[in-house]
Structure 1
Amino acid sequence: MSRYQTLSLFLVLAALWGAAFVAISAGLSHLPPILFAALRYDIAGLLMLGYAAAVADWRPRDRAGWWQVLVGAGLLIAAYHAFLFVGQLHTTAAAAAIVVSLSPVLSTGFARALVPTDALSPVGLVGVVVGLVGVAIVVRPDPGSLLAADAVAKGLVFCAALAFALGSVLTRRIDADLAIETMEAWSMLGGAAMLHLVSLALGEPIVPTDWIHPEAIGALAYLAVGASAVGFLIYFELLERLGAVEINMVSYVAPIVAAVVGWLYLGEVVDTAALVGFGVIVVGFLLVKRRAIRRELGQVRSREASE
């Protein structure tokens, strides 16, 4: 695959995942949030399981594999999407995407905290703090109105980013001989089951007639097929070709897509504070990942020199 094809896939993935935040906002006009998230992964999980059965062992074969699936289902799917979908009820798609873009910074923080021998350097710690400052700028917590709907919503999205970051670290720490496609498939199905249980416990209304609205069907189809099934297939391909550091940059292109599509489709406007906060989060990421980025750039130069 040429560099241009790789770049094209990277931009497609950023577009798919950035527009997903807009699809969530659109679908929330017709579906209760937890049930909406559960239905998304009912469909996506079955599609991914079919793909996993075609390219790998279709199910975990040992206890470690099932533990990895359980962590993925609970944190990467259920907790992340419950917080995200509920949070997006009262905040814009772009703001949600910006807060979620902190996940790679938080993942590094969790990784270092769980492995004391691999502690963050002083510059890395500054990077984590800078990233958190960026989120604070986006959220803009006012001591006089901490329970305002917008502040609470962005706080929930931040909890989503925390859940995703912790889940991504814990799933990598479990020593399981399990294909990533299989882990994702079963995590999606397990997470969907957890979300259905939460939806029932909260008493969310089940009104199928609301689901047949064209916008609801389009949002659900896009999230399940486009952003989840197709998106993760592209992600697997790019992860193998680019590595974890470069693929993390998708998190910083997706908010731009979310802002543009949210403005075009939903009429959402991105304010100055959100833009400044996003820039600060990117700086935090660069500080935390500076060594890995230098290594990646060095490898790119070496490949170019050998061609």
Structure 2
Amino acid sequence: MTTRTARSADSRVAGTLALTALTPVVWGSTYAVTTEFLPPDRPLFTALMRALPAGLALLALTRVLPHGRWIGRVACLAILNIGAFFPLLFLAAYRLPGGVAAVLSAVAPVFALVIAAVALGDKPGGRALLGGVAGVVGVALVVLRANAQLDTVGVLAGLGAAASMAAGTVLSKKWGRPDGVGPLAMTGWQLTAGGLFIAPLALLIEGAPPALDAEAVGGYLYLGVIGTAVAYWLWFRGIARASATSVVFLGLLSPVSAAVIGWVVLGQALTALQVLGVAIALGGTLLGQKTAAPKVTGSPDTSPVVAASVPVPR
């Protein structure tokens, strides 16, 4: 590869990472929307409303269904990225202050480094390890405050969500996509399967859906369209074009976004220690990036897909 070609590839990867970074920035708003606009104490229903409608809409748009071994792979990815991640995420959001809940995602790069080393043979370098440590330190500085009201279940849920997303991201990179299938279709598959996984849990545990006012409907529309359909399309697109660990490290922007939103919109105070934690999280994001084009570890998956008999929306 010539120097000019290498620079061009690096530039494309950097551009991909910059666009993918919009996803965790949007995800940082999830916590404020959940606590301010959505029905209280309904994490499973909220997860369902975020995933299933958006997934069905994308299925109708793409009209492609998984086939063969991809049925099992999609089920696995859907549980990790959606079915387990969403309930844990919203459980943390309901039980913890927004900034605290969001900053727990900073632990995801640590999980991703370990999983990528096992699943992809991608041994972490010194920069990545330092970035992972920076993320953990940032978590400690923001969460471990004298006046922080931490909930054990909420903290464990936040850490579980981070681990689930890290595993889903690494496996998404390992398996890639079937030939001819784009990230929009993959997003629809996972959102739909994940939503169907959540649906019976929501019914059994939380009962009938709650009554929704105009604010709740607006909140669910925002989470479903912007925070899910668009955000996950960018996320899976980024995984396909860049290093899985680089993409996971972008998740450190979520607590930064949540903290800024909490400060600007909700009037939540930021201490000097929290500001330092945010700065360390940003530093960890930069340290964890790989601007070089990712290596191809095998031939692209060419498992067939079958068109769904769903009419194109008009």
Normalising by structure 1, report the TM-score.
Answer: 0.74
Deviation, 1:207, is 4.4
**Once the 2 structures are TM-superposed, how far is the Cα of residue 93 of structure 1 from its aligned partner?**
2.2
Alignment of structure 1 residues 94-243 onto 2, 5 Å: 94-115=99-120, 117-121=121-125, 124-140=128-144, 149-174=150-175, 177=178, 179=181, 180-202=183-205, 204-209=206-211, 211=212, 213-235=213-235
The answer as to whether partners of 2:166 and 2:248 remain within 8 angstroms in 1 is: no
1:141-200 per-residue CA deviation (whole Å, 9 max, x = no partner) reads: 99xxx9x74354233212111110011112322365263322221211111122122223
Opposite residue 266 of structure 2, the aligned amino acid is: L
Q: C-alpha distance in 2, partners of 1:247/1:165?
A: 10
Q: What letter matches 1:201 in structure 2?
A: L
Aligned partner of 1:90 among 91, 95, 103:
95
Q: How many Å separate the matches in 2 of 1:127 and 1:14?
A: 17
- Whether 1:81 and 2:113 are equivalent positions in the alignment is no
Displacement, 1:234?
Answer: 4.5
State, as a whole percentage, how many aligned pairs show the same letter: 28
In structure 1, distance between residues paired with 2:193 and 2:124 = 33
Give the TM-score of the pair, scaled to structure 2: 0.73
Q: CA–CA distance in 2 between the matches of 1:118 and 1:103? A: 16
Q: Mind listing any 5+ residue stretches in structure 1 that lack a counterpart?
A: 297-307
Q: Distance in 2 between matches of 1:9 and 1:163?
A: 23
Question: Does residue 24 of the first structure (1) align with residue 27 of the second (2)?
Answer: no
Distance 1:258 1:139, change over 3 A: closer
Is the 1:102–1:281 Cα contact (8 Å) retained in structure 2? no
Task: Provide the rounded CA distance (Å) in 2 between the counterparts of 1:250 and 1:123.
Answer: 15
Match of 2:61 in 1: 51
Q: Matches of 2:176 and 2:28 in 1, distance apart?
A: 31
- CA drift at 1:205: 3.6
Match of 2:77 in 1: 72
Corresponding pairs, count:
279
Aligned equivalent of 1:305: none
Matched residue SS, 2:94: coil
**Structure that is richer in helix per residue:** 1
Amino acid at match of 1:262: G
Aligned to 1:267, the other structure's residue is in SS state coil
Q: Deviations over 1:226-284 (max 9, x none)?
A: 21123334556666787767766753444333233333443333444443333333444
Q: Does 1:41 align with 2:41?
A: no
Q: Take 1:110 and 1:7, find their aligned partners in 2: how far apart are those partners?
A: 20
Aligned-partner residue type, residue 138 of structure 1? V
Note closer, same or farther for the CA distance 1:227–1:118 as it changes in structure 2 (3 Å cut): closer
- The alpha-carbon distance between structure 1 residues 165 and 233, as it changes in their structure 2 partners (threshold 3 A), is closer
Q: Distance in 2 between matches of 1:21 and 1:166?
A: 22
- State the superposition RMSD in angstroms: 3.6
Q: Is the 8 A contact 1:109 1:128 kept in 2?
A: no
For residues 251 and 149 of structure 1, do their structure 2 counterparts lie closer, same or farther at Cα, with a shift above 3 Å needed? closer
CA distance in 1: counterparts of 2:24 and 2:226, whole angstroms: 12
For the structure 1 residues 196 and 86, does the alpha-carbon distance in structure 2 shift closer, same or farther, using more than 3 Å as the test? Answer: same
Cα deviation for residue 111 of structure 1 reads 0.2
Deviation at 1:43, TM superposition (A): 1.1
Q: 1:25 to 1:122 in 2, by over 3 A?
A: same
> Which stretches in structure 2 are left out of the alignment for 5+ residues?
1-11, 294-314
